[in-house]
Amino acid sequence: PDLPITTNMMGTYPHLDYRRWAREVDVVSWDCYPRPDAQASDIAFLHDLNRSLKDGQPFMLMEQTPSSQNWQAVNALKRPGVLRLWSYAALAHGADTIMYFQWRRGRGGCEKFHGAVVEHGRRSDTRVFREVAELGAELARLGDSTIGARTPARVALLFDWENMWSIDAAVGPLEDKAYLATVRKHYAALWQHSVPVDIVFRDSDLSGYDLVVAPMLHMVTDDMAERIAAPLRAGGRFVATYFSGVVGDTNLAHEGYPGPMRELLGIRVEEIDALYPGQANSIVLADASYSCGRLCEIIHSEGATVLGTYGSDFYADSPALTEHHYGAGRSYYIASDPEPRFLADFYGRLLAELGIAAALEPPAGVELAVRETATHTLLCLLNHTAAPATVALPPGQRYDELLSGQPVAGELTLPAY
């Protein structure tokens, strides 16, 4: 019983509820193998998910390939510098451990062409071996300056395996309801504003967050609705979207959507329209218009203020975006799937109202993540582009650049990757 236990989890692997499994391990470990088309925000989301499985406890990056994978349709090499970049991305979002699969390429079996630190040629003068060795030396120089650091998030994004299973089991109104893609889309909009985000689950304590975002929260019970309502009454913000509050935990439909969240959202859903690929509607605000599609719910206000309406079809001018005062807080309902620009603008306004701001504003293509220890704050800056980038540091602030050991102020130039 005194031996620590872990196992290698795999991101949002659909067949197992990792939140439940996390209770049974001492530390979360996971295998980071990004999709070929993965964006930097997608990788950050998965790291934040694994950090959040045990409520913010740092995790282990148990597996990453030093060069290429072998089990995707096309297995391109990681370009020079990307292994280092993605390793620090894991550290920036909560990893206390950077490891690899595999040390040496196996000579047989289904993974003999999977990347490794030592290739079949058994040489130590290869590009990949040098990159691994140089990264190892850098991490050794960091010592314990990052170990145990926590992420100070005031924003929470809800992802839940049982909710995903419930959505996937529903026959209609669309075949591919894209729950995971929708969660990633909302995360990307928050990531774009460089604010720390925790991933939360149906059993999470939400009381410590100023903003809770729950895309497509299809399965909602009375006790879950109360956990959402409590920080709202205290002055927080809550964002829900279409296809929420439809069923309870036995997958039976509530008699009216959004079920137990109807009072805290101040709306009711009458119908759900599914759009074909290539079809679109729009969300029209007082000062802007945005495209939307996939699902368009026809909703009615029951006390909520209408902020945006549909631009076309027979439900033109009916509510598409609402705001509802609940206790000292406010809730929002997005009745369709909007373009990313809408989410960037919408969350930008919400974060500004709440006084949630990034520690600094990085240029396009540069990611900022924050971790804190008992003695210091770590600003992690990651240049995801193939060109150098210059970051303006907050005026009057002086930092220690941990990799070089040198003080820095004013500006910091990051090389490619």
CB-count burial class (<10 Å; 0-12, 13-18, 19+) for 35: exposed
> Taking the CA of residue 405 as centre, how many other CA atoms within 13 Å lie in the half-sphere pointing to its CB?
6
Q: How far is CA 6 from the centre of its chain?
A: 23
Tokens of 398: 């002086």
Condensed to tens digits (0 to 9), the pLDDT of residues 5-26 reads 999 999 999 999 999 999 999 9
According to DSSP, the residues that pair with 411 across neighbouring strands are 392
Average pLDDT, the chain: 96
Lookup result for tokens 């924050």: 370
pLDDT in tens, 402-416: 999 999 999 999 999
- Work out the angle at residue 400's Cα, subtended by the Cα atoms of residues 399 and 406, and round it to the nearest 5 degrees: 125
Please write the tens of the pLDDT for every residue from 77-135: 999 999 999 999 999 999 999 999 999 999 999 999 999 999 999 999 999 999 999 99
- The mean per-residue pLDDT over the stretch 321-325 comes to 98
Label the pairing between strands 336-338 and 289-301.
Answer: antiparallel
For residues 310-316, give the mean pLDDT: 98
What the block records as the tokens of 175 is 């075949």
**pLDDT tens by residue, 150-205:** 999 999 999 999 999 999 999 999 999 999 999 999 999 999 999 999 999 999 99
Phi, psi dihedrals of residue 254, rounded to the nearest 5° = -65, 150
